[in-house]
Amino acid sequence: MQKISIVIVNYKTADLTIECVNSVIATSSDQFEIELIIFDNDSRDGSYERLSSLFPSVRIVALKKNIGFAAANNRGAEMATGDYVLFLNPDTVVLPGALEALWAFAQRRPEAGAWGGRTLFGDGALNPTSVSSFVTLRSTLYRALGLAFLFEKSPIFNPEVYPGWQRDTERDVDILFFCFVLVRLEIWRKLGGFDERFFMFCEDDDICWRMRELGLSRLFTPDACIVHHGGASTPDRADRIAMVLAARLLWIKLHWRPLPAMAARLTIQAGIFGRMLFDRITKWRRHKTGTWETVWANRNAWARAPKL
């Protein structure tokens, strides 16, 4: 019987992680067995103790410092003994039949490098963020100009989100976000896992790009469905945006030629500056600093050219 090693990284999300683990434990299949591996990323809030008490048969490791989402997942995958490794976010709930459907999809389409499924919000509405297309200089420009938001359903102005597709058909995609992604363990180890220069965010963009370079597709199925609440470990919106921007600029520098990379960095900076001005002009959030003003004020944390 094949085995799926499931890796979950917890950071100050004990309540959600407990719900996630219980949803996994409720899964049963005569096609594969499950190995659960949880890494606590130095939460310092009692998460490790609570998880260890509730799930004594699960492999739970407490890290002595927060090494980041990418690195912690790598450590979990290093411990995996399965044929496949499933990367699962702690703020998810695995719905009945989801693991079986994802595993069956991998058996039916074994040529892929990774397989992912459909995500929903807690109210059952579609959460479209489980997939994306690769960033381009054109899509970066449209975002900076605000066209991606004005014409969010346009495949021309907002191509990164696959507008018009309701995530209701199987298809090849550029990026699977690793909130619920299955990878054959031997492929994962051949790739060397996540690039740990990404502390959090865009590590999935990077590994999917490297899969593409090896000729490995990334496949999506709507039959494997989970709830993904999203953003639980980074609840502050301005901090989250700054982290995403820093990670995106690192990814661009790693994979683009120098001139387009510099153009993208300047375009992104100009776009954030424009949003900051819009915050001020429209007097949004009259009694406190607007999100984009905060992001712009903290630009030293993300706007500089990344050091490799």
Mean pLDDT of 179-208: 97
pLDDT at 199: 94
Q: Sorting pLDDT into bands at 50, 70 and 90, what band is 233?
A: low
pLDDT at 230: 75
The domain 2-228 belongs to what CATH superfamily? Spore Coat Polysaccharide Biosynthesis Protein SpsA; Chain A (3.90.550.10)
Comparing C-alpha atoms, which of 60, 59, 50 is closest to residue 19?
A: 50
pLDDT at 128: 94
pLDDT at 289: 60
Q: Is 139:148 a contact under the CB 8 Å cutoff?
A: yes
Mean pLDDT of 231-245: 82
Region at 273 (left for phi over 0; alpha for psi -120 to 50; beta for the rest): alpha
Q: What is the dihedral of CA 302, 41, 64, 83, to 10 degrees?
A: -120
Higher pLDDT, 232 or 208: 208
Q: Parse the chain into domains and list their residue ranges.
A: 2-228, 237-301
Global pTM reads: 0.93
Q: Distances from the Cα of 285 to the Cαs of 147, 278, 280, 282, in angstroms?
A: 23, 12, 9, 9
User: What is the overall mean pLDDT for the chain?
Assistant: 93
* pLDDT tens-place string over residues 2-23: 999 999 999 999 999 999 999 9
Q: Say yes or no to pLDDT of 26 above 80.
A: yes
Q: Sorting pLDDT into bands at 50, 70 and 90, what band is 286?
A: low
Mean pLDDT of 28-33: 88
Q: Distances from the Cα of 245 to the Cαs of 129, 169, 239, 305, in angstroms?
A: 17, 30, 10, 11
Q: Say yes or no to pLDDT of 174 above 80.
A: yes
Q: Sorting pLDDT into bands at 50, 70 and 90, what band is 121?
A: very high
Percent of the chain with pLDDT over 70: 96
Q: Say yes or no to pLDDT of 207 above 60.
A: yes
Q: Sorting pLDDT into bands at 50, 70 and 90, what band is 281?
A: confident
Cβ-proximal residues to 258 (8 Å cutoff; 6+ apart), any chain: none
Comparing C-alpha atoms, which of 23, 224, 230 is closest to residue 129?
A: 230
